[in-house]
Amino acid sequence: YLISNSNAFTCHLSFTLDNFYNEAHTNKDLSLCTFVTWIPINQQTGELEEDHFEVEGGEFVFPKDGCAVDFMRFNSIVECAWKASDHFHHTLPSPTPKGSPHTQLGISSQLPESAERALQTHQDEIPDYKKLWTIRDLEKVVKDAVTKYDEKGKLREPNKKKKQPKPKKQLKKVQSKRKDEHNK
């Protein structure tokens, strides 16, 4: 995660279901846009419900922009992205009985200001932050595991690194010299 990176998108997911609704609002997000996916599911099985989906209402509305997503016109997954910090939005109530097996599972992803502040606080409390959070290749991880830790997984003292065995070719040469010396 890169703090204040204009390319950063999200670290936060919100889930809604079972007749969720709310009041019109804008979000306090740092991300350029919010991305939402609505998935018609059967709550009892968790499976995608594309046939005979029985949910009414629950439209997603942009009241000041005069538009909405009417789920009754779709029989599948719906996706939407918008600048949630600029456009008022909300979900309308649904007359579908609470506890119905069918629901719209909503998943939204955004970067709220509060999440960014928490990450920044956490980052500021860690000394040498950049040294702790790096991308490393597998060869480096294996080498460190062999040299820094003993067979029981305990950290070795700094000057007691495990000696690496010599390559097999060099061992054969040493053995050949010993045989020659022994035969003399």
DSSP H stretches of helix in the chain? 113-125, 129-132, 138-148, 168-183
Overall domain count for the chain:
2
pLDDT, residue 161, reads: 52
Q: Residue 139: CB partners within 8 Å, gap ≥ 6?
A: none
Domain that holds residue 155: 138-183
pLDDT tens readout for residues 31-90: 778 889 999 999 889 899 888 788 888 999 999 999 999 888 787 899 999 998 899 999
Assess whether 143 and 173 both reside in one domain. yes
Assess whether 96 and 174 both reside in one domain. no
Q: Is residue 6 part of a domain?
A: no
Q: What is the dihedral of CA 92, 97, 103, 107, to 10 degrees?
A: 40
What CATH number is given to the structural domain containing 107?
Answer: 2.60.120
Q: Is residue 106 part of a domain?
A: yes
Q: Residue 93: CB partners within 8 Å, gap ≥ 6?
A: 19, 21, 57, 58
Assess whether 94 and 146 both reside in one domain. no
For the chain, how far is it from start to end, CA to CA, in angstroms?
A: 67
Q: Is residue 7 part of a domain?
A: no
Assess whether 17 and 46 both reside in one domain. yes
Question: At 55, which amino acid appears?
Answer: V
Assess whether 42 and 103 both reside in one domain. yes
Q: Which helix (H) or strand (E) holds 84?
A: none
Q: Answer whether residue 100 shows pLDDT above 50.
A: yes
Assess whether 143 and 69 both reside in one domain. no
Q: Is residue 133 part of a domain?
A: no
Assess whether 82 and 164 both reside in one domain. no
Assess whether 142 and 174 both reside in one domain. yes
pLDDT, residue 157, reads: 75
Q: Answer whether residue 104 shows pLDDT above 50.
A: yes
